[in-house]
Structure 1
């Protein structure tokens, strides 16, 4: 991986561990009280779906749109996701490590669970953020709910065409 200071400004901003950890926190936080927490393997799909504006904008507006239907209408996005998810693994790992070591969330072999005590600070960050950052946050929450509606983690990965 390229040294952080030698990366383009946009990459440093979008892929910075704190920002990526915040998106993962939001994805995990919407699962509080749900039938299952965010699966560890699903974490690796959040950033590739949320960070690229083209993909983020192509995502459906509600979870009423089935993932399979969305993929039928957006086959290019599925191909992009397969490639992008592999490329984003190091950034997701770094974000997970960053967040876990700071008590932002709990990471187990199977799940990611947001620490509620960070809710106020995260919401304060969101309020002071740009519209693009808020869009990323909103879609991180959306994709987590969408994954839950689609079925088990293995079903989500199979539908999206990615392998752990």
Structure 2
């Protein structure tokens, strides 16, 4: 991973650890609320490639009650290039996880599961509308999908990737 000074401006602004960490945190909260368990660590690496990819995100309908596997059947072309996107976002996901751990907003359990901890988050303007809000809402939908989609290996198989 390049140092912050050597990254293109768009990358350092759009994929900063605080923003990506908030996406991950929202996914984890929705998962925990729906399943009453904690997310298994490997699944965290699917969150950013799903929610940050515009075409994928735009096809996720918040009002739909479809399960993830049904949605993927109807949108099979979404999986084209997904494994490469996921691979490219591993370092960004790692930075976001480190940020959340440093802020004490995330804990890794003994079983390797992830849980959100209560922490004081400053209110930031701009999260209430537009593309950022859409990303956050879709991240919550992904958390709900993951909670009812089966095992980690099943979810990875649905997306056509391996942990």
Residues 31-72 of structure 1: per-residue CA shift (max 9 Å, x gap): 334332122111101100011222111223346212222222
Q: Secondary structure at the match of 1:22?
A: helix
The aligned residue for residue 45 of structure 2 is 44
The aligned residue for residue 95 of structure 1 is 96
Is this contact kept in 2: 1:27–1:46, CA < 8 A?
Answer: yes
Correspondence 1:70-85 to 2 at 5 A: 70-85=71-86
Is residue 11 of structure 2 the alignment partner of residue 11 of structure 1?
yes
Partners of 2:36 and 2:58 lie apart in 1 by 28
Which TM-score applies when normalising by structure 2?
A: 0.87
Per residue, is there more helix in 1 or in 2? Answer: 1
Is this contact kept in 1: 2:104–2:119, CA < 8 A?
Answer: no
Which TM-score applies when normalising by structure 1?
A: 0.86
Partners of 1:143 and 1:32 lie apart in 2 by 12
Is this contact kept in 2: 1:27–1:38, CA < 8 A?
Answer: no
Is this contact kept in 1: 2:51–2:138, CA < 8 A?
Answer: yes
Is residue 133 of structure 2 the alignment partner of residue 145 of structure 1?
no
Is this contact kept in 1: 2:156–2:162, CA < 8 A?
Answer: yes
Structure 2: gaps spanning 5 or more residues: none
The aligned residue for residue 117 of structure 1 is 119
RMSD: 1.9
Deviation at 1:160, TM superposition (A): 1.1
Deviation at 1:9, TM superposition (A): 2.3
Is this contact kept in 1: 2:62–2:138, CA < 8 A?
Answer: no
The aligned residue for residue 26 of structure 2 is 26
Partners of 1:31 and 1:74 lie apart in 2 by 22
Q: Secondary structure at the match of 2:104?
A: coil
Partners of 1:59 and 1:74 lie apart in 2 by 10
Structure 1: gaps spanning 5 or more residues: none
Is this contact kept in 2: 1:4–1:12, CA < 8 A?
Answer: yes
Partners of 2:61 and 2:82 lie apart in 1 by 15
